[in-house]
Amino acid sequence: MRIRGLFLLCISVLGFIALAGAVNFAANEWKRWQDARDAQGLLQVFANLAYLSERFSVERGDVNQALLAEGPRPQAAIDTAQKNRGRTDEAMTAAQAYLKDLDAADQELIAPGVARIAAMLRDTRTLAESEIAKPKADRNPETTARYVSTATDLLQNIARVSAVVELRAATEDISIGRLASLARLSLTIRDIGGRRSTLITTYAGSKVAFTPAQVEQFLLLDGQVSAVWSILLHTARELDATAGITPAVQEANAKFMGDGAKLTRELFETRTV
């Protein structure tokens, strides 16, 4: 549980960067200009997609834990999972609601992607529920593996739609572009880090060593996290004067790139000896 808790904490602090970048301008500077209402609406969609990505990442962790459990889930775990699922639903509903406030051209551009996300969310949950209800001995390993893949696809699709919203909003002002870019980078790191954590936690309680292919996959994901983090730091330096950005980056650096990375590598080393 300590391992899962630390991983979730690391995921959350990355979300703070994304939300600081996505919401800050929408809540402050852009309100000064009446002609920026379209960009403000776009960033509301962007911010709620950021919430959605963060909250589904936590929901995915609940499901992964349930799929690996030997027996039925304790009621406390079920209650927590339901609460986290409700938060995911809130973010999905908010993104859809703000989408309706955009002008027709922006809706035409973004709505299909948001609809696809909603459909993938339903399908991914259905896939998981069919397996969680079974005893572990009766679960289909292929279906469990497919859940991991479809959940990853969902997060990547959220990132793709977010990138479209980001580019559309960035046409209004370069500052919008920087803030949205920072948020997107943090979401990218969280997605890669989540896949790295899933790889580790799947084998954390076993004595099975990683295969050469799994070692290669871990090192690839670990390297991608470091590379994107370097880009994020460069982008964040251009936003030092923006409220909330620097503290969020510092906290993520300490917890995600510090404590979380250390634990991840320690667990990785136990599976490669």
Q: What would the pLDDT profile of 47-89 be if each residue is shown by its tens digit? A: 899 889 888 988 988 888 888 777 777 888 889 999 999 999 9
Q: Which residue has the higher pLDDT, 183 or 7?
A: 183
Asked if residues 199 and 239 have their Cβ atoms less than 8 Å apart, the reply is no
Instruction: Note the maximum CA span of the chain.
Output: 61
Asked if residues 91 and 69 have their Cβ atoms less than 8 Å apart, the reply is no
Q: What would the pLDDT profile of 176-196 be if each residue is shown by its tens digit? A: 777 777 877 887 888 788 788
Residue 190 neighbours by CB under 8 Å, 6+ apart: 11, 14, 15, 18, 53, 54, 57
Residue numbers of the domain that contains 122: 2-270
Task: For the chain, give the percent of residues with pLDDT over 70.
Answer: 81
Region of poorest pLDDT, from 48-57, 116-125, 242-251: 242-251
Domain count, the chain: 1
pTM, 2 dp: 0.68
